[in-house]
Amino acid sequence: MAVPAPGALAGEPIRIGVSGPFTGGSSPMGVAMRDGIRLAAQEINAAGGILGRPLRLIERNDEASPEHGAQIAQELINREKIVAGLGIVNTGVALASQRFYQQAHLPMITSVATGSIITKQFLPPQYPDNYIFRVSAPDTLQAAMIVDETVVRRRLRKLAIFHDSTNYGQLGREDLERALDRHGIKPVAVERFNIRDVDMTPQLIRARNAGAEAVLTYGLGPELAHVANGMVRIGWQVPLVGSWALNMPNFIDNAGPNAEGTRMPQTFIQEGDTPRHRAFIDKYRKTFGVERIPVAPAAAQGYDSMLLLAAAIRQARSTDGVKLREALETLQERVEGIVMVYDRPFSRTDHEAIDSKRALVIGEIRNKNVVFAYDEDRKRDAQHK
């Protein structure tokens, strides 16, 4: 995609790779992320580009396939000659593809994928420099918030974990088990399902018979809808709390009334509580002709990842990969994003922009929209951002 640029920008375009699932079950996250990146790039070009050069986004659909994602990474680097990468939604795709950015010494800023090990794949001493950065909330933080919601706030101790069989689901289950263990709790049931499974009845019956007082989830929208619908079908009413993917429209719409009350950690909720949030939401709606942002955190994180990369290019005054990595690790510019204000978000040893639960809130599905579950989160969010 060539982002429209003013005629005054005559320099060679800065080519940035953008990859994610733009079709299939993960596509609501991928499309929202891509469109958030597009918005930021359009704004940057309208303001004169960077170093007198326009941004050009080279977009590729990885279809949530690790194999295809790895091929795309190589194509973007070797054939398209990108200077950096943005995007990636699925943890398995990230783990399969980001090694090519590492080998090419090109920064990859992960906009959505949340697997806890994503930024830890290339650490010293084996790798002296790490080129993988992230602006989404790691699953270690999300798992801790899920457990706080159920164990601390709701005082429940008999918990079941439902997870899919992908890298995302398996690693998320491990994060949940570790978070529960810190409270001295072992789950009464751990149930697994595959992508495209539609009948969760056996797993749900086992969890109910084990006495579970809530279901904690790590999966994606379509399958999670079958979990919620299956709970109602067997007449089992307990809280459903899980990772941020419970905000996907293919969960909310497919589960319908059975999604009501579901809770999940969020980095951004589509409520215009600040002028900057309102402007972002209004521009997204107008530009892409939608009322509801498909996955609001993915859109906001995509937008912010583009802003952070732009700040690094300005600081480095170069598109050289080594210099961009160094600039990201020592970023001087205070970047006003949508998820948060980024003040030295990365360091040489910490490539997580979001490394505190203070940047997250608990969302709840009400009337087919994700809203703040707690008023104090709404107030803190507005003040913090």
Is 375 part of a structural domain of the chain?
Answer: yes
- Using the structure block, give the residue that is written with the tokens 């690693």: 171
At 164 the three-state DSSP class reads: strand
Q: Do 133 and 145 sit in the same domain of this protein?
A: no
Is 58 part of a structural domain of the chain?
Answer: yes
Question: What is the rounded distance in angstroms from the CA atom of residue 256 to the CA atom of residue 224?
Answer: 12
- Using the structure block, give the residue that is written with the tokens 């790798």: 127
| Sign of the torsion formed by the C-alpha atoms of 352, 355, 359 and 362 | positive
Question: What is the rounded distance in angstroms from the CA atom of residue 31 to the CA atom of residue 302?
Answer: 10
CATH value at residue 213? 3.40.50.2300
Q: Do 222 and 153 sit in the same domain of this protein?
A: yes
**DSSP assignment of 180-212, as one string?**
HHTTT---SEEEEE-TT----HHHHHHHHHTT-
Q: What is the DSSP letter of 363?
A: E
Q: Which of 270, 263, 237 is nearest to 378 (CA)?
A: 270
Question: What is the rounded distance in angstroms from the CA atom of residue 145 to the CA atom of residue 99?
Answer: 30
pLDDT above 70 for 112: yes
Q: State the pLDDT at residue 7.
A: 45
Structure tokens at 266: 């969020």
Structure tokens at 255: 């589960």
Query: Count of CB atoms within 10 A of residue 363's CB?
Result: 28
pTM to 2 decimal places = 0.93
pLDDT above 70 for 255: yes
Q: Do 174 and 259 sit in the same domain of this protein?
A: yes
Average pLDDT over residues 254-282: 93
Q: How does residue 384 score in pLDDT terms, banded at 50, 70 and 90? A: low
Q: Do 288 and 347 sit in the same domain of this protein?
A: yes
- Full domain range(s) for residue 112: 14-137+272-354
Q: Do 244 and 365 sit in the same domain of this protein?
A: yes
Q: Do 176 and 296 sit in the same domain of this protein?
A: no
Distances, alpha carbon 62 to alpha carbons 20, 117, 257, 300, 302, in Å: 5, 20, 32, 20, 16
Q: Do 171 and 206 sit in the same domain of this protein?
A: yes
Q: Cβ(385)–Cβ(282) under 8 Å?
A: no
**Which amino acid is residue 245, in one-letter code?**
A
> What is the per-residue pLDDT across 135-160, written as a single tens digit (0 to 9) for each?
999 999 999 999 999 999 999 999 99
Report the mean per-residue pLDDT for the chain: 95
Q: Do 50 and 151 sit in the same domain of this protein?
A: no
Q: How does residue 5 score in pLDDT terms, banded at 50, 70 and 90? A: very low
Percentage of the chain lying above the pLDDT 90 cut: 92
Q: How does residue 161 score in pLDDT terms, banded at 50, 70 and 90? A: very high
> What is the per-residue pLDDT across 185-213, written as a single tens digit (0 to 9) for each?
999 999 999 999 999 999 999 999 999 99
Average pLDDT over residues 99-127: 96
Q: Which of 149, 170, 16 is nearest to 92 (CA)?
A: 170
Phi, psi (rounded to 5 degrees) for 193: -140, 165
Is 5 part of a structural domain of the chain?
Answer: no
pLDDT above 80 for 381: no
Percentage of the chain lying above the pLDDT 70 cut: 96
pLDDT above 50 for 35: yes
Is 295 part of a structural domain of the chain?
Answer: yes
Q: Do 235 and 368 sit in the same domain of this protein?
A: yes
Average pLDDT over residues 22-27: 95
Number of compact structural domains in the chain: 2
Is 9 part of a structural domain of the chain?
Answer: no
**DSSP assignment of 221-285, as one string?**
HHHHHHHHHHHHHTT----EEE-GGGG-HHHHHHHGGGGTT-EEEES--S---SHHHHHHHHHHH
Is 309 part of a structural domain of the chain?
Answer: yes
pLDDT above 60 for 323: yes
Q: Do 243 and 367 sit in the same domain of this protein?
A: yes
Ranking 97-101, 217-221, 319-323, 354-358 by mean pLDDT, the lowest is 354-358
The residues that bridge with 240 in the sheet, in sequence order, are 215
pLDDT above 80 for 271: yes
**DSSP assignment of 39-97, as one string?**
HHHHHHHHTT-BTTB-EEEEEEE-TT-HHHHHHHHHHHHHTS--SEEEE---HHHHHHH
At 324 the three-state DSSP class reads: helix
**DSSP assignment of 278-318, as one string?**
HHHHHHHHHHHT-SS-TTHHHHHHHHHHHHHHHHHHHHHTS
Is 154 part of a structural domain of the chain?
Answer: yes
pLDDT above 90 for 249: yes
Is 1 part of a structural domain of the chain?
Answer: no
Q: Do 233 and 304 sit in the same domain of this protein?
A: no
Q: Do 255 and 369 sit in the same domain of this protein?
A: yes
Average pLDDT over residues 256-268: 97
Q: How does residue 370 score in pLDDT terms, banded at 50, 70 and 90? A: very high
Higher pLDDT, residue 97 or 274: 97
